[in-house]
Structure 1
Amino acid sequence: MATQSTPRKLWEHPNPGTTQMHQFKNYLSSKTNTRFPDFQALYTYSVTHPTTFYHHLFNYFPLIYTDTLPNATSDRPNHIFDPTARMDSIPAWFPGMQLNFAENILSSGPRHGQPCKTNKEDDKTACVSVREGSFTEPIQHLTWSSLRHRVALLANAMRAHGFGKGDRVAVVASNSIDTLTVFLATTSRGGLFSSSSTDMGVKGILDRLTQIRPRWVFVDDFSVYNGRTVDLRPKMAEIVTGMEGVPEFEGLVAQPRFSDRPAEVSDVPRTVSWEEFLRKGSGDGELRFERMDFSDPFLIVYSSGTTGSPKCIVHCVGGVVLNGFKEGMLHRCLGARSVALQYTTTGWIMYLAAVQALLFGSTMVLYDGNPFLPNLETFIHLTSRLRVSHLGISPRYLQELQKNSIIPRQVADLSALQVVTSTGMVLSDQLFEWFYDVAFPKHVQLDNVSGGTDIAGAFATANPLLPVYTGGCQGPSLGTPIAVFDSTLKGGRGVKGRRVEDGVPGELVATGPFPNMPRFFWGDEDGKRYRESYFAKFDDCWVHGDFVMIHPTTKQIIFLGRSDGVLNPSGVRFGSGEIYAVVDARFGELVADSICVGQRRPSDTDESVMLFVLMKPGRKFSPGLVNDIKAAIRKELSPRHVPRYVFETPEIPTTVNLKKVELPVKQIVSGKIVKPSGTLLNRGSLDYYYQFAKVEELAGPLKAKL
């Protein structure tokens, strides 16, 4: 897409006045005596009057809380956060406000912060658990009453085991009802929850666990993926061995993957069964909640750690609850009648997003396994059968459907579907247009989201008051002050950033505090690693690490790639996403995937762009294809975008969440030796790229492809 042209409009809400976003706009207008003619005016107010905005935002939602501030009603607007504090001081929000994550999930608070069961009535379905294949194992429906009872039993067993506020529990488990129960039981007690998926290697798991030092680790006894059942008891034993030097660690609890036949774990050291752990609670089914300060920690998530130990990012209870209401209810139109299916592992931040659907009384669909088993249409049929209204997937999922000529709207009845959320990587312009022209019903909103683990939320997200155009994200998240700064500035301590005009690519930044900023990194006692991660480049300004552009006409936020992967040949800066868009659009029939990185070795005076393409089965890589790719990039972008080298690759490195990882490849081809982290799904794939550090010496077939 040309940066200055107006992209094609693909969708508009048929009746925006009925949406919660519109109703909140009117609510805030009446409370502040301010007119908001459009969303841009509302957003501008939210970031220029943050204390007033967040005061009214909090009051708009049915949260359950206690306000301990004296004269709370009159004083509260002046006690949201300290607006004079530097952003890098990580100011506390809503002092005196106390709440609990699990309580807000399991109950509703329609007035004055008091709990009730509105939209979460006992006999209403809270969760639907679906195992791989959708129909090979029974689909389990769980009511709100049953979910509350399960959480109470486990939470009281934890209490009997001495678990309390500030203690950590981790899971290595699937997206299941048991895992959800552990999450809610842990947080009901004021503890901190952390999760990893079962497909992560033991090293990657221990890189996380040895940092956060949990008291208990809940682990699935078996995993099932792609039709293959794996006994996880050997992995349990390795985890126990790896945790021997952690004094806080008390042991493992085995979660039964098959409820009718739990694995025998008596031979696994320091491990008890789920039932044995529960027995200590003596069947106590009374729900109790430890309300915590708004800024108290409750969740630990992790950076990808693709080239080093992962950062243990700690989020606070109030920030996640409030932001969950804001993004879910206002931006994504989730409500009590919604049915939300987010495809995710427990090792991805989207697991939290999936759980947050319960805040509104929505039905949460938990899916565990390969969405393409037994065939590519299975997930579509499941979406239809469960009357899913909000479906969360990734661009890779859409690519698989497209390349296999699967047309969802011809496969099943998708009349209940309202929103499809895509995240995890750049969504190409081609997929936007395929989505509406070919694949899905035209009434469905395509919600391209970007933000992530670091903020437990989005910088750019859906909006029912704005159109969907080809490419990018619809707009910013309310109350989160973002901007695009000049990425050519070297930056450093005390260096002020400089805004660029709309239409000019640059560095995505946040210029002021917001409640869902992480509180700290676990183990980062002096905060040095936190500051270096977000505040090292520009003074008192969060730098997120994304290379983006705001469209000058539509105000879409267009993500062009990661900043550490920005390509810079001869001083021309552009994102790898621009290259991927051309390859996907023009060569999708031949190329399955690609990865584009810059090579600059210590002896190089300039950067060279390298493009590696993974061919589809049965398709051949050839010098003619190389010439065609270069010609297409020259025509669609510019001569300066053309890669110097184009090679075939047998495999593209990804994380366990299937995000392609450019930085290790960039470092390797630039002459560095990389120690891959346990979060990489295919660590061995990196070995192939070492030969390209000496690209001039390549001989034979490889040389012919330069």
Structure 2
Amino acid sequence: MPHIDESVTTEAKELWRPSSPETTQIHDFMTKVNNKYGQSLSDYNALWEWSVSQPAQFWEEIWHYTHIKAHQPYKQVLESDKVMFPRPPFFQGSTLNFAENLLYPANAPDENAIAVIGVTEADREFISWKELRERVRKSANALKEAGLQAGDRVAGFVGNHANAVVAMLAAAFDRRLLDGSNQKSSLQTALRSTTAKSHGSHAKVREIVSELSHLQYLVVFETAKPLDFDFDQVRPKNGKAVAYAEFQAAVRDEAAPLEFASLGPDHPVYILYSSGTTGAPKPIVHGSLGTLLQHKKEHLLHCEIRPGDRLFYFTTVTWMMWHWLVSGLASGATIILYDGSPFRPFDAEGGKGEMAMPRLIEELQITHFGTSAKYLSMLEQAALNPRKHLHRPVSLNTLKAIFSTGSPLAPSTFEYIYNSIHPDIMLGSITGGTDILSLFCSGCPVLPVYKGEIQCRSLGMAVSVFNYAGKDISASGEPGDLVCTAPFPAQPVMFWPPGPEGLEKYCKSYFDMFGPSIWHHGDFVRLNPQTGGVIMLGRSDGVLKPSGVRFGSAEIYNVLLKHFADEVEDSLCVGRRREGVDSDETVVLFVKLVPGCPSNISDLAARIQAIIRKELSPRHVPGIIDACPEIPVTSNGKKVENAVKQILCGLNIKIGTSVANASCLDWYRNWASEHS
């Protein structure tokens, strides 16, 4: 029988309950739905059931409730809710502009209020709504002057600075543009980034430019002074390379107004790239309205973000959470951009480095703080309590919510946050992906937080759990694959470039397993029938299957964090089954020891195996445990399980460029050879 975690069969531990759910925006939304449609929805589960059973009505109400600013009204919300591939169009007939909705939201604060705060380890930049609009106007006019045409792509090699947001909004406001984040494009915006220590990017820019045969314009933001940049060495072969100030100065009509192009709902706004850890990344094209609707729904209803709130997410511009953060402007929030180390202290009082983010919350009065599960687990391992810090306690009184994603948040970290960070906040463990640029499961301000669980399946997202046979096992509490069974507007528009090949890849990526009516996302999850919460167990391609029993690597990681944080800094758990060699899969666990840890690996391995046997089951016990020097991760800090798994299984794979520390994979290749 599949392993069932104790949290499914016993009463889940409640860590937080909202004190006044009736004052939330989601409660207000539910009241409006009841009044308009004659419903008697009384709780979140009833609202979710209605949202996924009546997708056309639900998304129409989201359009109205979030105040989408359109140039032309829609003629039809959704033609059919039966098939997800080919992608069904939403809100046909409407036209709008993505950038306009972010720059001029219906509930925008006063134009002199702060819209963006740019932060480095040394500097602060406060930008009002009025100034942000003016900077976008100038940048957009410069793009037009440079000859940007319909269908061109604007790409960025940028840090998390205010100018990155300005450039994105300027590109999105005009003509028929795609804002790419990584690969080939017609205009490349480059940045020389700086924190307390300057990091020149000249060599990297030169490398990127040399590979972009269609590049016409390179614009360099000046983020460090003086700007020491050799433009001749980075100039595109058939184009120009200029500093940002020079780029703007070339505009002939400096007073040209900001005129927003009127575009269809599926007009591309972003190209995002999947991690591509074992091959070429998928270039996923996202439409303007689907992205806008989904983000506004999540911000207003699931995150309880209101005008004037201060939203922060510790992210780089290469992670989808950057785009999610920037869309906070559409809800009237102040967004905070941080470029620097999360561990560098901001004061001279001798504080530990881990205090950087808590001190930032205090200084900037952040209300909604987002980060990765890995960062929170590192704070937990350091036993940091910012409210009782040795040198100066940190006040986190403005904090309303903490969001965590990137990997499953361990149950012990849930308890750590409520015990050491803040006792009365919504801890929104969330999950979605680059593929949808949004969330499948999220936080909810009207529901309790249970240890180890994502609070709910998001409104309008018909999430279920399927086994390999395509049977819905959501109600059983058994682990399986996360799927979505109804269309939603944030489905990708296409893969780039357009054409039959991209369409085929699109279909294979999400609909190959269960057919055109079931989106298969690739996450391995379990639904708690008691609470409605979702337990993340890892990626489907990283599922461990010794003796046919399926479980996720997150279950192993949670045990290590709970019991061995003083000895194990990080870990990687994969399955090994070599064709023609192994009759069954062996669970292999690699542990990176805490520096200076005197642990004997044989003794440590025996203790780990004993605890896993006790807390999980004999089937979960790794057959091999060994120490490793480094854990491979992506640029966003996600563990690269699949690449290591394929190496151990003897497959000759090409490692993608998204593996940030790819050189460490040589150690795993040597290990596999020595343990053949």
Task: Check whether TM > 0.5.
Answer: yes
1:219 to 178, 184, 190: 190
Corresponding residue for 2:108?
119
Corresponding residue for 2:340?
369
Secondary structure of the equivalent of 1:431? helix
Tell whether the 8 Å contact from 2:160 to 2:317 is kept in structure 1 after alignment.
yes
Secondary structure of the equivalent of 1:223? coil
Corresponding residue for 1:427?
409
Kindly tell me: are residues 242 and 630 of structure 1, through their superposed partners in 2, closer, same or farther at Cα, counting changes over 3 Å?
Answer: same
**2:559 aligned with 1:577, yes or no?**
no
Q: CA deviation at 1:521?
A: 0.5
Correspondence list, 1:537-576, <5 A: 537-540=513-516, 541-576=518-553
The code of the aligned residue for 2:592 comes to: L
Corresponding residue for 1:508?
482
1:237 to 206, 214, 218: 206
Quote the Cα distance in structure 2 between the aligned partners of 1:629 and 1:442: 31
Tell whether the 8 Å contact from 2:646 to 2:653 is kept in structure 1 after alignment.
yes
Corresponding residue for 1:492?
none
The code of the aligned residue for 1:512 comes to: A
Corresponding residue for 1:49?
54
**2:87 aligned with 1:97, yes or no?**
no
**2:242 aligned with 1:272, yes or no?**
yes
Correspondence list, 1:457-606, <5 A: 457-487=438-468, 489=469, 497-523=471-497, 525-526=499-500, 527-540=503-516, 541-603=518-580, 604-606=582-584
The code of the aligned residue for 1:607 comes to: E
Correspondence list, 1:140-179, <5 A: 140-179=125-164
Corresponding residue for 1:73?
none
Corresponding residue for 1:254?
220
Quote the Cα distance in structure 2 between the aligned partners of 1:502 and 1:524: 41
Correspondence list, 1:66-465, <5 A: 66-68=71-73, 76=75, 79-83=76-80, 86-109=83-106, 118-131=107-120, 133=121, 136-137=122-123, 139-194=124-179, 196=181, 208-210=182-184, 214-220=185-191, 222-224=192-194, 227-244=196-213, 246=214, 249-258=215-224, 261=227, 263=229, 265-270=231-236, 271-282=241-252, 283-374=254-345, 375-410=353-388, 411-437=393-419, 439-465=420-446
Quote the Cα distance in structure 1 between the aligned partners of 2:466 and 2:587: 24
Q: CA deviation at 1:266?
A: 4.5
| 1:259-306 Cα shifts (integer Å, max 9, x gaps) | 664645344323111122112323235211112111111111010000
Quote the Cα distance in structure 1 between the aligned partners of 2:472 and 2:408: 25
Tell whether the 8 Å contact from 1:107 to 1:120 is kept in structure 2 after alignment.
no
- Choose 273-282 or 7-16, whichever is displaced more: 273-282
The code of the aligned residue for 2:68 comes to: L
Quote the Cα distance in structure 2 between the aligned partners of 1:37 and 1:446: 23
Corresponding residue for 1:202?
none
Quote the Cα distance in structure 1 between the aligned partners of 2:174 and 2:221: 20
Tell whether the 8 Å contact from 2:366 to 2:398 is kept in structure 1 after alignment.
yes
Tell whether the 8 Å contact from 1:502 to 1:552 is kept in structure 2 after alignment.
yes
Tell whether the 8 Å contact from 1:509 to 1:544 is kept in structure 2 after alignment.
yes
The code of the aligned residue for 2:484 comes to: A
Q: CA deviation at 1:415?
A: 0.4
The code of the aligned residue for 1:268 comes to: V
Query: Equivalent pairs: percent with the same residue?
Result: 36
Secondary structure of the equivalent of 1:88? coil
Q: CA deviation at 1:66?
A: 2.3
Q: CA deviation at 1:674?
A: 2.4
Corresponding residue for 1:635?
614
**2:17 aligned with 1:36, yes or no?**
no
Quote the Cα distance in structure 2 between the aligned partners of 1:486 and 1:508: 9
Corresponding residue for 1:201?
none
Quote the Cα distance in structure 2 between the aligned partners of 1:634 and 1:455: 37
Q: CA deviation at 1:497?
A: 4.7
| 1:36-77 Cα shifts (integer Å, max 9, x gaps) | 0211110000010111111122111222102355xxxxxx5x
Quote the Cα distance in structure 2 between the aligned partners of 1:615 and 1:351: 32
Q: CA deviation at 1:405?
A: 2.4
Tell whether the 8 Å contact from 1:497 to 1:539 is kept in structure 2 after alignment.
no
| 1:489-539 Cα shifts (integer Å, max 9, x gaps) | 3xxxxxx55445331111100011100010111025210111111000002
Corresponding residue for 1:113?
none
Q: CA deviation at 1:385?
A: 0.8
Q: Which runs of 5+ in 2 are unaligned?
A: 346-352
Quote the Cα distance in structure 2 between the aligned partners of 1:165 and 1:629: 58
Q: CA deviation at 1:254?
A: 0.6
Secondary structure of the equivalent of 1:310? coil
Corresponding residue for 1:693?
672
Quote the Cα distance in structure 2 between the aligned partners of 1:166 and 1:691: 46
Tell whether the 8 Å contact from 2:576 to 2:649 is kept in structure 1 after alignment.
yes
Secondary structure of the equivalent of 2:566? coil
The code of the aligned residue for 1:93 comes to: F
Quote the Cα distance in structure 1 between the aligned partners of 2:659 and 2:19: 43
Secondary structure of the equivalent of 2:632? coil
Corresponding residue for 2:657?
678
Q: CA deviation at 1:224?
A: 2.9
Corresponding residue for 1:112?
none
Q: CA deviation at 1:4?
A: 1.5
Secondary structure of the equivalent of 2:91? coil
| 1:239-259 Cα shifts (integer Å, max 9, x gaps) | 221113x3xx20211111126
Q: CA deviation at 1:666?
A: 0.4
| 1:328-380 Cα shifts (integer Å, max 9, x gaps) | 00000111120111110000000001101111111111100111114221221
Q: CA deviation at 1:191?
A: 4.2
| 1:574-628 Cα shifts (integer Å, max 9, x gaps) | 1111111111111111101111000011112111110001111111342111110
Kindly tell me: are residues 293 and 606 of structure 1, through their superposed partners in 2, closer, same or farther at Cα, counting changes over 3 Å?
Answer: same
Secondary structure of the equivalent of 1:425? coil
Kindly tell me: are residues 682 and 267 of structure 1, through their superposed partners in 2, closer, same or farther at Cα, counting changes over 3 Å?
Answer: closer
TM-score in terms of structure 2 length: 0.93
The code of the aligned residue for 2:429 comes to: N
Tell whether the 8 Å contact from 2:302 to 2:442 is kept in structure 1 after alignment.
yes
